[in-house]
Amino acid sequence: RKEVEQDPGPFNVPEGATVAFNCTYSNSASQSFFWYRQDCRKEPKLLMSVYSSGNEDGRFTAQLNRASQYISLLIRDSKLSDSATYLCVADNYGQNFVFGPGTRLSVLP
């Protein structure tokens, strides 16, 4: 079983749509979670950390469900510039970071 799994995608949505990505992690000891964004042929960049109570940053909302070992990312009012691959990340016993395979999003005009 992979340590971090994500929706396979790709997600093709029209501008202005709301889209949600799901992620599950297998290590119940994981404490820190993140969403990274990766543009085509670029390096991953931190989008947001994920906190237990859930957190919001503008159009982006991240939620964590420890009981189900599940993380989500919601993007409201999608923009063309949101087109990218979204990587879910969980820590590995507080030592390093495990990345999921990524979910590709294409926002269409």
Name the residues that contact other proteins, by CB under 8 A.
4, 31-32, 34, 42-46, 49, 87, 91, 94-102
- Which 3 state secondary structure label does DSSP give 13? strand
Least Cβ distance, residue 36 to other proteins (angstroms): 8
Could you count the other beta carbons within 10 Å of the beta carbon of residue 86? 26
CA 22 to chain centroid, in Å, comes to: 7
| Residue listed under structure tokens 């404490």 | 31
Least Cβ distance, residue 98 to other proteins (angstroms): 7
Instruction: Report the residue number, 23 or 75, with the smaller CB distance to other proteins.
Output: 23
Instruction: Report the residue number, 45 or 59, with the smaller CB distance to other proteins.
Output: 45
Burial of 94 (0-12, 13-18, 19+ CB in 10 A): exposed
Least Cβ distance, residue 106 to other proteins (angstroms): 15
